[in-house]
Every structure is written in structure tokens, then in C-alpha cells.
Amino acid sequence: MAYIVVVGGPRIATVHPVDLKGCKIGRGLASSKHLSIEKDEYISRRGEAPETGSVRVGEVAHAEVASVDGLWYVRDINSKGGVLVVDGANVVQLIKGGDKALGRARLFECGQSMFLFLDTGKTPPAVFVQAACSTDQAPQLSGDASHTGIKDPKSTLTQLNPQSEVPVLIARWQTIKRAMRQHGLGALLDE
């Protein structure tokens, strides 16, 4: 069993189990197997079918975390803003069906929300979740008051610049890795 911990955004501190069949992340996802982030206005394009742009009723997914042949991946599901994935000291932007291996622990961002993927056999301890969600030790960028992954609510998708998120994600990943080591999850890091 793997877990996704929401470490920034509207559902911060949510821990969501992911079985081998995977999990979609988006809005309007009715199944408890999926992670629905209703208040994140930047996650998925509500009501827009990727193939036609027409309105549809039901689920709208932004990304998917799934296991393929025993390896975990995050995949962009035709999102408008892409999925940003921390890869060492770099950040990779996934767009339109792109995917990235997650290893046993990885930080990624969709919309206003930051997610920590953990391939651990047990639920992460609450004290670790609290430490991973804390922004007390994360460096602040000028003009960013909260540093929880929530962008200016007045901005639009066309105004968001994924490159401005790179230093934020790298700094958060460093903070989360320290918390993982302090709370016995350091073995999940592939360093």
C-alpha cells in the first residue's frame, strides 16, 4: 500500500491510501479510491472533456498515480497546467499524458496543491504528516506569504508560471526529506 499526503493546498494534511490499481487526483471524483480536491480551482478543468473541450458530467481528473509492473508513476491526464515533479535538484513538468517514475518517495504539484507520494506499507505517522505540512522551516520567496502551495486566488491559469514554483518545490522537498529522516522514513529516500 502506498500513500499520498497533501502537504500544501486546500486539503493540507490529508493522507490518502493508494492501492495497486492507482488513484486519480482531480475534482468531482466520487469514488473514495480517488483524491478529490474540490476547493483547488487550478486542479483539472472542471466539466471539460480533454478530447473535445465539450462539457461533460462527472469525474474530471488532473493526474493519476498508478503502479505498473511494481513501479509507481505519476501521469498527467491532459491537464491545462501540467504536473510538476521534483527530481533530485530539478523539477520536471509533465504535460498531456507525460509520466514520471515516483520511486518510494516523491514530491509533486498539481494546481494549487502539493502532494507527497510515499511507498510505505503503513500509514505515515501523524507527527510526520504534521512536520511535512509545516511551512515554518521552508524558505519564503518574496511576495509569497503562505508558502503552502496556494497561489494568488485572483490569478488565472494563464497567469501561473510553473518555473516560479521550482524554488518553492525544491525548498519544500528539502524540508520534507529532513522530516522523513527525523521520523524514521529516511529509508524511502533514493539518495
Which CATH number do you get for residue 102? 2.60.200.20
**What value does the mean pLDDT take over residues 123-151?**
64
Residues 51, 27: Cα–Cα separation, whole Å: 18
Confidence at residue 178, expressed as pLDDT on a 0 to 100 scale: 95
Greater confidence (156 vs 191) lies with: 191
Q: Which phi and psi (to 5°) does residue 115 adopt? A: -125, 140
Domain count, the chain: 1
Look up the pTM and report it.
Answer: 0.79
pLDDT over threshold 50, residue 50? no
Domain residues for the domain of 7 are 2-188
Residue 44: pLDDT band (50, 70, 90) is: low
CA dihedral sign, ordered 167, 104, 130, 175: negative
pLDDT over threshold 50, residue 154? no
Confidence at residue 4, expressed as pLDDT on a 0 to 100 scale: 94
For the stretch 102-106, contacts whose Cβ atoms lie closer than 8 Å and that sit 24 or more positions apart, written own/partner, are 102/65, 102/72, 102/73, 102/74, 103/72, 103/190, 104/72, 104/188, 104/189, 104/190, 105/180, 105/185, 105/188, 105/189, 105/190, 106/74
